[in-house]
Amino acid sequence: MSTLLQNVFGNAKGFARLNGESKVAPFVVLLLVVTVLASACNLLLPQDSIFYVSTYTITLLGKYLCYAMLALAVDVIWGFCGILSLGHGAFFALGGYAMGMYLMRQIGDRGVYGNPELPDFMVFLSWNELPWFWQGMDQFWLAMLMVLLVPGLLAYVFGWLAFRSRVTGVYLSIMTQALTYALLLSFFRNEMGFGGNNGLTDFKDILGFDLQSDNTRVTLFIITALMLSGLLVLSKKIMQTRFGKVVVAIRDGESRARFIGYRTENYKVWLFVYSAMIAGIAGALYVPQVGIINPGEFSPINSIEIVIWVAVGGRGTLVGAVIGAILVNYAKTKFTAIMPDGWLFALGAMFVLVTLYLPKGLMGLWSQFKGEQAVAPTPVNPPNETSASHNPEEGRA
Amino acid sequence: MSLLDTTREVMRRDQVWPFLQDDTATVDISHQVLLYVEGLNLSFDGFKALNDLNLYINDGELRCLIGANGAGKTTLMDVITGKTQCDSGTVYFGQSLNLLEKDEAEIAQLGIGRKFQKPTVFEAHTVMDNLELSLKSNKSVIPTLLATLTGEEYDQMDQVLETIGLKGERMMLAGSLSHGQKQWLEIGMLLMANPRLLLVDEPVAGMTVQEGERTAELLTSLAGERTVVVVEHDMEFVRSIARTVTVLHQGSVLAEGSMDEIQNNPDVIEVYLGEAP
Ligand SMILES: Nc1ncnc2c1ncn2[C@@H]1O[C@H](COP(=O)(O)OP(=O)(O)OP(=O)(O)O)[C@@H](O)[C@H]1O
Ligand SMILES: [Mg+2]
């Protein structure tokens, strides 16, 4: 048990090295090639061709890529800074709701009640006018701004409070769970003005394009792939700057980083904001593809699942998180088709096995397989020395 | 104090109001004293780790702090560097900078560098990256995001690598260095920051005799331009570098003076040297 906890909360040995293992460029090329091929096979081939890719598959792939983006967000904060957020589902859902609000306003008078201004659920609640926070959400640019701002602001306020009071480890993780749970409960309430437990759905089109058409679906899929690639490259670039090095330094020895003059809480807050914004974008791309957003997305279990995707792929590798998310979700699709109730158990088992026996995830396995050990030497000194030396607080407890 | 006295105190013409003082101003050492520690008290659950401790360090001095295990040496450094809050007392850096009001990062930026008792380097970073992070530079978020190494900084890094003897290991991960090399790297990190005051906690622990000798040479050469406070148990080492030695005992200063004076001080012989002649 203690190994498990140690592996989850910031034991440096469990993390992959910064350079070398994270091969973003080849992965992005692969991702884009697959995206182009799948899109072409959907749009250009006749339905009876054996190479035809169904629109259902395209949407499924798009969904996986959104999850991958979400995993990327968690990896940035957990893998590189050691902050185990169990509330990233909240930022994802908030981004999704911002997009959902725009899509609701796009329905116009085509809803069941035919009200040109108010979404159906508001008419049903016999509201007479749009709440203030729905104003202007029919503007695409404003909605997109909200996709970034709302998760970003929440992360800023939360991070500011938590990191300034130096909350770390398990306590922080519990706080993030509480955050997403609180949002879950409030979004369930009809009075919140987000459609209660039904959420937002029955979307018709986006920027005037029919959401049901193959072209729109493929376009959304391509945009998701491009966005994911862009964010992968950007995150990699950020981690290569001195800022990124400070972030890793905070993960491996926060008080040491303070003693050389870095205000570590500021670094953590801004990284948290960046990560929350990625999650928000992922949510915004997810909603038009799956066609619904409801409070279930805030459920604490969802946030825990994301962490497992990252652990499976390999923390602190960026690409690993993306691969982990895609593989685990593919497994979930297959598994739930056969044994719907068993999935959570399988997931839990996967997490325990990976943290105990595969602390660097699939990426670690891959680099072991390729014999990277020969290139970069691993620690040669006795284990008690290494474990004692990366945490100055340990010795004083 | 009457209102009039208070007003007079506030309006004193020889003082600047604290909130008008430029805190980032250079350290004022007009009295040749760099660090004032006065009346420091700190207890952990009733146990007095620091007990009315007074210590003055002159600018450019090399001072050795000795004392038995648990005497409060590390705790003193914790208070000076902002890691631990003391119960009462004052700590001033130069004449005007009150260190007790500042946090770790601020104190570090003022030019106080610290080497921990256990070597703490960033294990997942290369030796070079460890040094880069320790550079004296603007350490706020945006400048750090945009920072690139200048030629001068490279030269400085080369020089430090030369000094700490890790030239060949520059691209190695710090985690894969030997214990002694980590100690050196941490000293190198201190040097990169170009600090005014170095607080060095047990630098030769785990080093071979030769490595220890080189460390002694290095620390001696630093004094003068910088001020160095060294905590060490190894009396051989202390003898080889010390000019002034301060003996701590149960959280307060027991004796202070040259090595010879200390060795002949009856109190010291009784509580410290007496144990291990
Ligand atoms: N955070 C803490 N909580 C409780 N007690 C503490 C704490 N830090 C230090 N102490 C106690 O204060 C005393 C002084 O400790 P300190 O580490 O300063 O000793 P030291 O002189 O550095 O000894 P050593 O030579 O062993 O390093 C010790 O008895 C220690 O147990
Ligand atoms: Mg000590």
Q: What is the pLDDT of residue B102?
A: 92
Q: Do B140 and A18 touch (CB under 8 A)?
A: no
pLDDT digits 0-9 by tens, A209-223: 999 999 999 999 999
Residue corresponding to tokens 């994301």: A306
Give the count of domains, chain A.
Answer: 1
Contact present, A393 and A387 (Cβ < 8 Å):
no
**DSSP label of B226:** B
CB B98 less than 6 A from any atom of ligand 1: no
Q: What is the pLDDT of residue B16?
A: 62
pLDDT digits 0-9 by tens, B88-142: 999 999 888 999 999 999 999 999 999 988 888 999 999 999 999 999 999 999 9
Residue type, B83: K
Q: What are phi and psi of B66, to 5 degrees?
A: -125, 170
Chain B residues whose beta carbon lies within 8 Å of the beta carbon of residue A156: none
Q: Do A253 and B122 touch (CB under 8 A)?
A: yes
ipTM: 0.84
Residue A3 predicted with pLDDT over 90: no
Q: What are phi and psi of B59, to 5 degrees?
A: -65, 130
CA B88 – CA B96 distance, rounded (Å): 18
Question: What is the average pLDDT across A163-190?
Answer: 96
Percent of chain A at pLDDT exceeding 90: 78
pLDDT-derived band at A327 (thresholds 50, 70, 90) equals very high
Ligand 1: residue whose CA is nearest its atom 25: B69
CA A92 – CA A283 distance, rounded (Å): 4
Q: What is the pLDDT of residue B277?
A: 42
pLDDT digits 0-9 by tens, B169-201: 999 999 999 888 998 999 999 999 999 999 999
Residue A232 predicted with pLDDT over 70: yes
Residue B54 predicted with pLDDT over 70: yes
- Asked which of A12-26, A59-73, A277-291 is least confident by mean pLDDT, the reply is A12-26
Rounded to the nearest integer, the mean pLDDT of chain B is: 87
pTM for the model stands at 0.88
CA A216 – CA A78 distance, rounded (Å): 34
Residue A58 predicted with pLDDT over 90: yes
pLDDT digits 0-9 by tens, B10-19: 777 666 666 6
User: What domains sit in chain B, N to C, each tagged with a CATH number?
Assistant: 60-80+111-273 (3.40.50.300)
Q: What is the pLDDT of residue A185?
A: 97
CA dihedral of residues B137, B229, B76, B73 (deg, nearest 10): 130
CATH number at residue A91: 1.10.3470
The whole domain housing A149 covers 2-292+301-396
pLDDT-derived band at B268 (thresholds 50, 70, 90) equals confident
Contact present, B229 and B144 (Cβ < 8 Å):
no
Percent of chain A at pLDDT exceeding 70: 88
Choose one of B41, B64, B73 to mutate for the ligand 1 pocket test, by most ligand atoms within 8 angstroms of C-beta.
Answer: B73
Task: Please give the number of the atom of ligand 1 that sits closest to the Cα of B45.
Answer: 4
Question: What is the average pLDDT across B241-252?
Answer: 89
Q: Do B123 and A12 touch (CB under 8 A)?
A: yes
Residue A34 predicted with pLDDT over 90: yes
CB B71 less than 6 A from any atom of ligand 1: yes
Chosen for mutation from B128, B144, B157 (greatest number of chain A CBs closer than 10 Å) is B144
pLDDT-derived band at B274 (thresholds 50, 70, 90) equals low
pLDDT digits 0-9 by tens, B73-100: 999 999 999 999 999 999 999 888 999 9
pLDDT digits 0-9 by tens, A127-146: 999 999 999 999 999 999 99
Q: Do B116 and A392 touch (CB under 8 A)?
A: yes
Q: Do B144 and A246 touch (CB under 8 A)?
A: yes
Q: Which residues pair with A209 in a beta bridge?
A: A206
Choose one of B53, B75, B83, B84 to mutate for the ligand 1 pocket test, by most ligand atoms within 8 angstroms of C-beta.
Answer: B75
CB B44 less than 6 A from any atom of ligand 1: yes
Q: Which member of B104, B132, B176 has the closest CB to residue A258?
A: B104
CA of B70 to the centre of ligand 2 (A): 7
CB pairs A-B closer than 8 Å? 120
Q: What is the pLDDT of residue A171?
A: 96
CA of B50 to the centre of ligand 1 (A): 9
Q: What is the pLDDT of residue A376?
A: 42
What b/e sequence results for A339-378 when a residue is b if at least 16 CB atoms lie within 10 Å of its CB, and e otherwise?
A: eeeeeeeebeebbeebbeebbbbbbbebbeeeeeeeebee
Q: What is the pLDDT of residue A315?
A: 92
Q: Do B193 and A385 touch (CB under 8 A)?
A: no
